[in-house]
Amino acid sequence: MSYPVSARAGIVVTGTEVLTGRVQDRNGPWLADRLLELGVELAHITICGDRPSDIEAQLRFLAGEGVDLIVTSGGLGPTADDVTVATVAEFSGRELILDDALEATIADILRRLMGRSGVGEVDFDAVLAANRKQAMVPQGAEILSPVGTAPGVVVPGTPTIVVLPGPPRELQPMWDKAIRTDGVQQAIAGRTEYRQATIRMFGLPESGLAETLRDGEQSIADFDRLEITTCLRRGELEIVTRYEPDAAPVYDALLALLQTRHGREIFSTDGALVDDQVAELLAGRTIATAESCTAGLVAARLTDRPGSSAYVAGGVVSYSNEAKSALLGVDPRLIAEHGAVSEPVAEAMAMGALRRFEADTAISTTGIAGPGGGSAEKPVGTVCFSVQLADGRSTTTTLVLPGNRSDVRERSTTVAMHLLRRLLSTPAGVGHA
Amino acid sequence: MSYPVSARAGIVVTGTEVLTGRVQDRNGPWLADRLLELGVELAHITICGDRPSDIEAQLRFLAGEGVDLIVTSGGLGPTADDVTVATVAEFSGRELILDDALEATIADILRRLMGRSGVGEVDFDAVLAANRKQAMVPQGAEILSPVGTAPGVVVPGTPTIVVLPGPPRELQPMWDKAIRTDGVQQAIAGRTEYRQATIRMFGLPESGLAETLRDGEQSIADFDRLEITTCLRRGELEIVTRYEPDAAPVYDALLALLQTRHGREIFSTDGALVDDQVAELLAGRTIATAESCTAGLVAARLTDRPGSSAYVAGGVVSYSNEAKSALLGVDPRLIAEHGAVSEPVAEAMAMGALRRFEADTAISTTGIAGPGGGSAEKPVGTVCFSVQLADGRSTTTTLVLPGNRSDVRERSTTVAMHLLRRLLSTPAGVGHA
């Protein structure tokens, strides 16, 4: 693997709740990905609490290491322990000044938020005073408009410092604006342009992929011009490859090798998620769910995206045996004979959902998420799935999934998505399994 | 805020897969907890790749910041990119020497591992040579016997450096041995014992809390002996306070002030989560859910914990109007008259769930998660909730929640938990709202 000369960056994550592990940092990894995509090399991530001297020490460290860009996250709230902007201003030798236009913007946002919250009576002027602090910016900084109530700032210099809020849903939308600022563009001028491509697989063990990659190293010329990282997550394998544009033929050779060896397991070569694919396959259809061990997670995942009400009718969480019979019409004798976790019951649940919701597509899950309830015959992690279509196509299967209660529930949800994808993309008349 | 003199520590997490976010670091948070328990103050966590110069820079930074103890994780394997021990040795000015006893120990472990792995034919002498590297330790270091194949080392000095392996299942068992070494005991001799207390609130804006804390600063003597951090998450405020044992009366005064001002919003002063409280309140009861906009998230959250099948009967995700009527018995005229997102429909959904699942507790949600579907009268974020108990107690309310689709759905789920908590903890005969 080669490391081309490039722009270098460091990330400073602030927040005592992150330093002490009470909140898991999601910004460091997210920013690391964005920097990689840009072709900027990430050298260090540093995490500290809300103490100005510690934040300042980390800025000094990174500047001393010669990075071109520092990105900070957190510490932009209205409370006294939020000190990042003031600390960055002092570090850059810039005065903090009140930005009147920004103050007015924040006041507008707060008025709107408070007007509709109905959470309780608070003196609006006191709130404004607390939030005035958020309108103080380092002189000469570029302002990134707030997504929540906290604005970000870009302080140009050597290094340029991008100051972003802590909540990921505020930080992420601000990033695109941040990289378009002059300050950041100057800092990352020395970067190398990379292409990045993502291949997704389902159902292949990581060791199988490793073997193919070792073979590729032998059989594909210039294989070392590809920077390949693989990641296994909930049964899906994600293969991300970065390469300089002129190494595109090498990437094409890799893709061809993977398709020859693992064509059945590859479900995406354009970055699309299984959720995107299932949403597309469900257009014009109506789906209902019947969940036991996943208890709503499949319905929640199907409705995660805007517009899903066009094809999701609803679902039943039938946690108890009584609910399976009363709401889905599962024959109690079927449960008595085969047990609640069995393929006949999974089929009956899915068929009940088809009927009760007048849907044309239904999926069911019934399993043992643990930690209790397992047996020698049906250990913890045993989950039965059934997909039923109104045209008679169907698929029913049983898997034993690894991990703890939460792993089994999440993994089952992902398996359900893939079973839907496979059956819905099979031509009619072929799919009865 | 005062920072009592104490032993201070820093953590260095190494590994390119962690730096680039492909693998989530679990060692930093785990070590942070252990240090807090010991009364050692954690100042910095730094993360870098497998490059000696970056690791050395982080050690230099932490030593320069005057920490008494550095703990590193990762980079102890047999391959060439594992460089932590050599880098620490060079940083401490100690020679690397082969420890014969340790080499024999590692050889024994490898012989046992390879005997049972069946992974394939490998030349044992080649493996031993690769692993000889793991028996090279800095002169004068204390050795921590391997849990996997990699030994840890404690290099005494100013600061003392504890070098631990990356896999959490190897690092964690080594920690107890590490803190018992002379090197670590000397480094942490100056530690202070702290107490830590957590208060949780729901329904108070962060700025309201900030105002009370500012008042506390004026009215409570020695307020600066409390180290307070606040964190806002899905409408819940978490306030964590650390203090030395003799500052307990100061903490008691803070708690009394918060209870006077925000008694209605405080729901936990002992660290318990709303999930813990709801699980306890549901013991001996049977709950059913009727969800529209949350689409299964409330059912999934209630069944998140082991043993929940004792009190969760199930639920209906009634995404379409037809499903609300067919599965929950909501009168279609009610929907036509008030709209699907309305308090009468929320009530009818919860009452339908009570009936259909023969439950004694039911909760419903119906709202507009967005991005589409909003109107001037009912903007995106409008969510109606209803809790109905079989004994006639009930509560129904409408909120307008901020954020995007996913925020509205998650926040609604948290609100549902709090409405359940409030009604179930109200004495019978009082709760009809």
DSSP string covering B81-127, please? T--HHHHHHHHTT--EEE-HHHHHHHHHHHHHHHHHH------HHHH
Average pLDDT over residues A191-206: 86
Domains and CATH numbers, chain B: 8-187 (3.40.980.10), 195-271 (3.30.70.600), 275-424 (3.90.950.20)
Which of B20, B58, B227, B317 has the most A C-beta neighbours within 10 Å, making it the best mutation to test the interface with A? B317
**Smallest CA–CA distance from B308 into chain A, residue:** A319
- For the cut 90, the answer to whether the pLDDT of residue A369 exceeds it is yes
**CA atoms B46, B50, B54, B60: torsion sign:** positive
| CA A305/CA A293 separation, integer angstroms | 23
Residue B10: list chain A partners with CB under 8 A. none
- For residue B50, the surrounding DSSP H or E stretch is none
| Partner A contacted by B111 (CB < 8 A) | no
CB contact set of B99 (below 8 Å; sequence gap of 6+): B135, B136, B137, B143
| CA A16/CA B194 separation, integer angstroms | 15
Positions in chain B whose pLDDT score sits under 50 = 1-4, 117-121, 431-433
- For the cut 50, the answer to whether the pLDDT of residue A3 exceeds it is no
Which of B45, B67, B73, B408 has the most A C-beta neighbours within 10 Å, making it the best mutation to test the interface with A? B45
- At residue B430, the pLDDT reads 53
Residue A407 is encoded by which pair of tokens?
Answer: 């792993």
Q: Which of A227, A249, A234, A242 is nearest to A201 (CA)?
A: A234
Q: A413 falls in which pLDDT band (50, 70, 90)? A: very high
Q: φ and ψ at B194, to 5 degrees?
A: -115, 155
Enter the ipTM. Answer: 0.79
- For residue A197, the surrounding DSSP H or E stretch is strand A195-202
| CA B24/CA B26 separation, integer angstroms | 6
Q: What is the pLDDT of residues B18-59, one digit of tens each?
A: 898 777 898 999 999 899 888 898 999 999 988 899 999 999
8 Å CB contact of A317 and B309: no
Which of B79, B207, B241 has the most A C-beta neighbours within 10 Å, making it the best mutation to test the interface with A? B207
- At residue A195, the pLDDT reads 87
8 Å CB contact of B230 and A43: no
Q: Which of A390, A300, A306, A301 is nearest to A353 (CA)?
A: A390
**Smallest CA–CA distance from B51 into chain A, residue:** A43
- Evaluate whether A7 touches A189 at the Cβ level (below 8 Å): yes
| Partner A contacted by B273 (CB < 8 A) | no
- At residue A367, the pLDDT reads 97
- At residue A36, the pLDDT reads 84
- For the cut 50, the answer to whether the pLDDT of residue A432 exceeds it is no
CB contact set of B412 (below 8 Å; sequence gap of 6+): B293, B294, B297, B365, B367, B369, B383, B385, B401
- For residue B428, the surrounding DSSP H or E stretch is none
| Partner A contacted by B253 (CB < 8 A) | no
CB contact set of A326 (below 8 Å; sequence gap of 6+): B356, B357, B358
8 Å CB contact of B314 and A317: yes
CB contact set of A229 (below 8 Å; sequence gap of 6+): A239, A240, B17, B20, B22
CB atoms near residue B307 (< 10 Å) = 12
CA distance A430 to chain B (A): 31
**CA atoms B54, B60, B64, B69: torsion sign:** positive
Q: Which of residues 229-248 of A touch B (CB under 8 A)?
A: 229, 231
Residue A77: list chain B partners with CB under 8 A. 206, 232
- For the cut 80, the answer to whether the pLDDT of residue A348 exceeds it is yes
8 Å CB contact of A307 and B402: no
- At residue A122, the pLDDT reads 58
- At residue B428, the pLDDT reads 67
- At residue A191, the pLDDT reads 83
- For the cut 50, the answer to whether the pLDDT of residue A145 exceeds it is yes
**CA atoms B98, B104, B105, B110: torsion sign:** positive
Q: What secondary structure does DSSP assign to A23-70, as a single string?
A: S---HHHHHHHHHHHHTPEEEEEEEE-S-HHHHHHHHHHHHHTT-SEE
Residue A357: list chain B partners with CB under 8 A. 320, 322-323, 326-327
Q: Which of B211, B326, B356 sits opposite A126 (nearest CB)?
A: B211
Q: Which of B397, B403, B425, B74 is nearest to B280 (CA)?
A: B425
- At residue A429, the pLDDT reads 58
Residue B43 is encoded by which pair of tokens?
Answer: 């100042």
Q: What is the pLDDT of residues A166-191, one digit of tens each?
A: 999 899 999 999 999 999 999 999 88
| Partner B contacted by A315 (CB < 8 A) | yes
**Smallest CA–CA distance from A207 into chain B, residue:** B119
Half-sphere exposure of A229 (CA within 13 A, CB side): 15
Residue B240: list chain A partners with CB under 8 A. 16-17, 22
8 Å CB contact of B32 and A21: yes
C-alpha separations of A27 from A168, A267, A276, A292, B368 in Å: 6, 28, 24, 34, 28
CB contact set of B112 (below 8 Å; sequence gap of 6+): none
Q: In the block, which residue shows the tokens 């609803």? A: A314
CA distance B143 to chain A (A): 28
Q: Which of B228, B240, B300 sits opposite A296 (nearest CB)?
A: B300
Q: Which of residues 48-77 of B touch A (CB under 8 A)?
A: 48-49, 54, 57-58, 61, 65
Q: A433 falls in which pLDDT band (50, 70, 90)? A: very low
8 Å CB contact of A77 and B238: no
Q: What secondary structure does DSSP assign to A400-425, as a single string?
A: E--SSHHHHHHHHHHHHHHHHHHHHT
Which of A319, A358, A365 has the most B C-beta neighbours within 10 Å, making it the best mutation to test the interface with B? A319
Residue A318: list chain B partners with CB under 8 A. 314
**Smallest CA–CA distance from A370 into chain B, residue:** B306
Half-sphere exposure of B347 (CA within 13 A, CB side): 13
Check residues A385 and B193 and name the one with the higher pLDDT.
A385
Q: A32 falls in which pLDDT band (50, 70, 90)? A: very high
8 Å CB contact of B295 and A313: no
